[in-house]
Amino acid sequence: MQKSKWIKSSAAVLLLAFGFSGIPGNTFAAEGDFDLTVMHTNDTHSHVETIPQRATIVEQIRSVHPNHLLLDAGDVFSGTLYFNEYQGAVSLELMNKLGYDAMTFGNHEFDLGSRPEGHQKLSEFVTGAQFPFVSANVDFSGDTLFDGLQHDVYTSSFSGGGIYKGIIKEIDGEQVGIFGLTTEETPDISSVGSVAFSNYISAAQEAVDAFRNQGVDKIIALTHIGYNDSPVYDNDLLLAKNVQGIDVIVGGHTHVELSEPTVYQDGRNEPTVIVQAFEYGKFLGQLDVTFDDSGAITSYSGQLHDTSSAEADADYEAALKPYKERVEQIKQESTGVTAFTTLDGERAKVRTQETNLGNLITDGMLAKAKTIDSATSIALTNGGGIRASINEGDITVGEVINVMPFGNSLAIMELSGSEILSALEHSVSAYPTASGAFLHVAGMKFKFDPEQPAGERVFDAGVVGEDGNTTKIDPVAMYKVATNIFTAKGGDGYDMFAQAYEEGRVSEPGFADWEMFIDYIQSLGTVDPQIEGRITADPGGLEPIGWTVQKNGKMSYLDHKGNKVTGWLEAEGETYYFHKNGDLRTGWTKVDGDWYYFDAKTGAMKTGWLNDPKNSKTYYLHEDGKRQSGGTLEIDGAVYTFKNNGELTN
């Protein structure tokens, strides 16, 4: 999985413009101030294999910083075979063992809601937790599975296994308020059933007011709304800007790697510090803050600890072992699907051409996206994300994971036709050199001419409807396009996608690519995908339209797009020159200071000796068409003299 490091730099200008900063704060505290260390995780998606290393780092930090919290910002559910098999139980066992202080709900915690038993597993996850859940804008009252679990209070009298709007944690005699928020987009991207979601700004303001009314002036928002996610719904930057009194925002949902905290102040006396720790438990975030007597942050510093560089805790490894052994067995299990042909994921092919495996993957991606947003008409995935082939015969779970080992999740982009065409140009720009950016597609087809310059190769690009008919992509129309989140964030050089992401035109419903693939092929039972001509390399395919007569009677030459050629043109073994309005030039024409002569009838450039029919004068035109003007010139052993206007004098 490639990290979304671009977010750091691309957000910088925007943050500074709105009062944000990413600069580390002063780490010197005044005597008598309160120091607090917040350890945090988010979007772990059941990647429990990193927890033994996380445990080592947590214990090291706790040994140095007595005033500490361990918080999770949601999306523990979904993403690995551990979740498929145990549905959150392994994560819960190890989180209890780690001693988490609080968690908020991510959108993926609601993924199982469409099952006949509804949110039974989420309810069991809550009741089994030895830590509280905080949620100020989620209402579970409509779901009887949560009867008695939710308490609409901000309280210091909390216990594990309960859901609270907010809790008040006493640490070294100081009170710290913690409340939670979940993205309002959840009903659109998950299966919430009768669980309701309210406005995050209103909920946050209520939380701040409630804490302050109880004398709590150190306030942490534990959020799953995204760092810079779509402003149509919610995000941490807007939360910091619109709600005063929040000291720290521990975020999740957008899988952002904030190696340094972002700080919002904008003239306020009290800053708001925002942190997020990427994804899959690859990092443990650490934020050290100092509060003064009034509850304002006077200094802060933050860092991300790479769990891969830590030694695994043996006790946690032992706890994980039986689950890990079972997961390894599952990898060898059949998906129940038979492939009637080899599914081609060979590196050299998936990075240069359409393959049957690329077609099958994007078909599944499009099918899943349509269940979330029926307007989705196209799916794209980068060839660099297809890492292996699948042999003919029974398809195992392990084979699928080998093909898509990164666990990239689904994203749905809203793009203009022009942006799609630009993406297709980028896809084939390196051809015939293999490139991970080469796109596989569903719901569309296109051709490209590798003989044309990069950026001018794509043609006949169209959306294929359910009736099989193809409609040309309209550059100004808007389309819903499914892809993986790596590509949606600009991975592999897709800057047009990165811009759409920054502008809030990307939805992140989640769902790991390999899981979608298994679900899709299981719905088919057997698979025998073919090369369908979705992507066609057509050398010379962009042939010009050619000569045409304009309304003014002048000749013009149209390129493959129907545009009039201007300037020089080599065609049919002749050389021509066209005015900037597209008119074919005939007779004497001055170009860049030199004179040329173009045949009065055909417009072809003349070379050699020329007798001008208009004045019966003789001229000489060099091989490049330029007229000899002045001086002498030896031709075929004879010497000739020319006037400055090019006329032969002898």
Specify the 3-state DSSP secondary structure of 180: strand
pLDDT of residue 21: 56
Buried b or exposed e, range 8-36, using 16+ CB within 10 angstroms:
bebbeeebeeebbbbeebeeebeeeebbb
Alpha-carbon distance 408 to 427, whole Å?
19
DSSP state of 460: E
Specify the 3-state DSSP secondary structure of 272: strand
Structure tokens that stand for 520 in this block: 């899709």
Distances (CA, A) of 21 to 11, 16, 229: 10, 6, 18
Given the structure tokens 């950016």, which residue do they identify?
437
Q: Of all helices (H) and strands (E), which one includes residue 570? A: strand 567-571
Asked if 72 and 95 count as a contact pair (C-beta separation under 8 A), the reply is yes
**DSSP bridge partners of 103:** 72, 133
Phi/psi of residue 25, nearest 5 degrees: -85, 170
Alpha-carbon distance 415 to 497, whole Å?
8
Distances (CA, A) of 498 to 47, 274, 506: 26, 22, 9
Alpha-carbon distance 15 to 264, whole Å?
8
Q: Considering the entire predicted model, what is its pTM?
A: 0.69
Distances (CA, A) of 209 to 166, 202, 243, 608: 12, 11, 10, 91
Alpha-carbon distance 405 to 91, whole Å?
20
Degrees (nearest 5) of the Cα angle 231, 235, 241? 90
Asked if 498 and 489 count as a contact pair (C-beta separation under 8 A), the reply is yes
Asked if 448 and 431 count as a contact pair (C-beta separation under 8 A), the reply is yes
**DSSP bridge partners of 439:** 382
Degrees (nearest 5) of the Cα angle 16, 21, 25? 155
Q: H-type helices in 243-355, by residue range?
A: 314-331, 347-350
pLDDT of residue 131: 99
pLDDT of residue 544: 80
DSSP state of 309: G
Spell out the residues 6+ positions from residue 633 whose beta carbon is closer than 8 angstroms to its own: 620, 639, 640, 642
Structure tokens that stand for 297 in this block: 């942050």
Q: Which amino acid is at 44?
A: T
Alpha-carbon distance 272 to 20, whole Å?
9
Alpha-carbon distance 120 to 559, whole Å?
63
pLDDT of residue 20: 59
pLDDT of residue 225: 97
Specify the 3-state DSSP secondary structure of 400: helix
Asked if 606 and 598 count as a contact pair (C-beta separation under 8 A), the reply is yes
Count the residues in the chain.
650
Asked if 124 and 156 count as a contact pair (C-beta separation under 8 A), the reply is no
Alpha-carbon distance 522 to 514, whole Å?
12
Asked if 351 and 430 count as a contact pair (C-beta separation under 8 A), the reply is no
Closest CA to 77 of 90, 61, 68, 58: 90
Spell out the residues 6+ positions from residue 17 whose beta carbon is closer than 8 angstroms to its own: none
pLDDT of residue 31: 52
Q: Which amino acid is at 297?
A: I
Alpha-carbon distance 75 to 59, whole Å?
23
Asked if 279 and 41 count as a contact pair (C-beta separation under 8 A), the reply is no
For each of the domains in the chain, give its residue range(s) and CATH number, in order of start: 34-325 (3.60.21.10), 334-537 (3.90.780.10), 546-649 (2.10.270.10)
Asked if 507 and 188 count as a contact pair (C-beta separation under 8 A), the reply is yes
Q: Taking the CA of residue 129 as centre, how many other CA atoms within 13 Å lie in the half-sphere pointing to its CB?
A: 28
Q: How many CB atoms lie within 10 A of CB 636?
A: 5
Q: Taking the CA of residue 252 as centre, how many other CA atoms within 13 Å lie in the half-sphere pointing to its CB?
A: 34
Structure tokens that stand for 356 in this block: 């049957």
Closest CA to 72 of 191, 220, 273, 272: 220
Specify the 3-state DSSP secondary structure of 62: helix
Q: Which amino acid is at 234?
A: D
pLDDT of residue 19: 60
Alpha-carbon distance 493 to 414, whole Å?
18
How confident is the chain (650 residues) per 10-residue block, as mean pLDDT?
Answer: 28 43 46 89 95 99 99 93 92 99 96 86 98 99 98 98 99 98 89 94 99 98 93 93 98 94 90 96 98 96 98 98 95 96 93 97 98 97 91 95 85 97 96 92 97 91 94 97 92 92 90 94 97 94 86 88 90 94 96 96 96 94 96 94 93
